[in-house]
Amino acid sequence: MDRLRLQQLTISYGEQEVIRQLSLSIADGEMVSLLGPSGSGKSTLLKTIAGLLPQQDGRVFINGESVDHLPAEKRDTVLIFQKPLLFPYLNVRRNIAFGLKMSGYSQAAVRDRIRKILEITGLEGFEDRRIHQLSGGQQQRVALARGLVLEPSILLLDEPLSSLDTELRQQMRELIRDIQKKTGTTMLFVTHDQSEAFAISDRVCVLLDGTLRQTGTPQELFYKPADPDVARFFGISNMIAGRVSGSRFRSRFVCCPAPQCPDGSAAAVIRPEDIEIVKNMADNCVEGSVLSVQFEGTATRLMVSAGDELYKILCFRTSHVAGDRIILRFPENRLHLIR
């Protein structure tokens, strides 16, 4: 059974619809990321699932039961915010025990559960610390423990790592992934950072302008975007307009197989690192001139103008300079067709 199911969910702030007709299911034990730029409505969605914001339309099911009538404290979800939001007047132990105390657990049960969660989150020895004595990473870890200790049906995480610095973020990613595997907790993780979403989750959902555009494994999203917006979001701006006929895609200089594609106009996209620079003209090639060269360290970014179009190319250890004439090749198996 699905832990969480969203059915045709629409959420508005006043007149403006923030989330439109969103449907999504998350299975037990799954780790799903919701990826989208800031302002795409990710946090709003999480707050609605948690019961902190009402929806305009549609329904939320947790463990198969509708929870639309339940306030936040009655829902079997816990939301971890961007900031740790630890209660400053309580120490670490009392912060973690907060939810259990609210639900009226016995002292013994509280002690037991806290011991277990401290071990899982690697917070042993910090129980009696005051909040202001903790570093940012430790605080976020306590916030995580405070949510996990309630063993919610689904843990909602709202960019919990974005306030940490790069190295710490890396460690916390692994910790969360690790905890998820150990406890089997179902998690919905919201982020605007694609590498974070890819590294941490089984399945990624892309949210753009309030609608769910594509759901899939990180590889699927990265190499096979469903539409131009998703492609652009993952950094593909090379789009080649053409037509499909008889299961083949053709443009002025590119041609590739298009199995199961209906005839009509279509576009092929290709990642900037997949375009090759070759010596001699051949199939799927076009000649162009280098407009600009940007050395970025590992890679060098070229802007090439060819046949009225601009292409972005990422290449390694290149010696081209602006003004060079070069030949670009678009390998058949790297082209991905979108409508």
Partner 1 sequence: MKHSQSFRIKGKAGVPCGLLQLTAAIGPAFVIILILFGGGLSLGLMQALGHLPGASLHSVSLTHFTNVLTDPDFAGSIRLTFYVSFVSTVIAAAVSVVLALAIIRCAEESRLVHFFLQIPLTVPHLVIAVSILLLLSPSGLAARLLAAVGLLQSTSSFPMLVNDRFCIGIMLVYIWKEIPFITFMLLAVLKNLGPELLETAATLKASKMQRFRYVILPIIWPSLAGAGLIVFAFTFGAFEVPFLLGRSYPLTMPVWSYKNYSDIDLLARPEGIAIGLIISIIIIAAVIVSHLLTQYGRRRGLL
Site stretch for partner 1 (CB under 8 A), options 9-17, 25-33, 90-98, 163-171: 90-98
Q: Which ranges constitute the DSSP H helices of the chain?
A: 42-50, 92-102, 107-121, 136-148, 166-183, 194-200, 218-223, 228-233
**Is 39 in contact with 208 (CB distance < 8 Å)?**
no
- Comparison of 27 and 72: residue with beta carbon closer to partner 1: 72
Sheet holding 211-216, edge to edge: 77-80, 154-158, 187-191, 31-35, 203-208, 211-216
User: Which of 156, 149, 137, 164 is closest to 99 using CA atoms?
Assistant: 149
- For the bound state, the minimum distance from the C-beta of residue 54 to partner 1, rounded and expressed in Å, comes to 14
Task: Tell me how far, at minimum, the Cβ of 20 lies from partner 1, in Å.
Answer: 24
Q: Residues 262 to 281: which contact partner 1 by CB under 8 A?
A: none
CB 221 within 8 A of CB 214: yes
Closest CA to 236 of 249, 248, 226: 226
Which CB atom, from 186 or from 194, has the smaller least distance to partner 1? 186
Q: Looking at beta carbons only, is 44 or 194 nearer to partner 1?
A: 44
Question: What residue type is 273 in one-letter code?
Answer: E
CB closer to partner 1 out of 170 and 183: 183
Q: Does 72 bind partner 1 (CB under 8 A)?
A: yes
Q: What spatial distance separates the first Cα and last Cα of the chain, rounded to whole Å? A: 34
316 binds partner 1 (CB under 8 A): no
Binding positions for partner 1, 99-158, rule CB under 8 A: 99, 101-103, 146-147, 150, 156
33, 77, 138, 185: which one binds partner 1 (CB under 8 A): 77
77 versus 138: smaller Cβ distance to partner 1: 77
Q: How far is the CB of 73 from partner 1 (least distance, A)?
A: 5
Subset of residues 39 to 58 that bind partner 1, contact rule: CB under 8 A = 47, 50-52
Q: Is 237 helix (H, G, I), strand (E, B) or coil?
A: coil
- Count the residues in the chain: 339
**For binding to partner 1 (CB under 8 A), which residues are involved?**
47, 50-52, 71-75, 77-79, 81, 83, 85, 87, 89-91, 94, 98-99, 101-103, 146-147, 150, 156
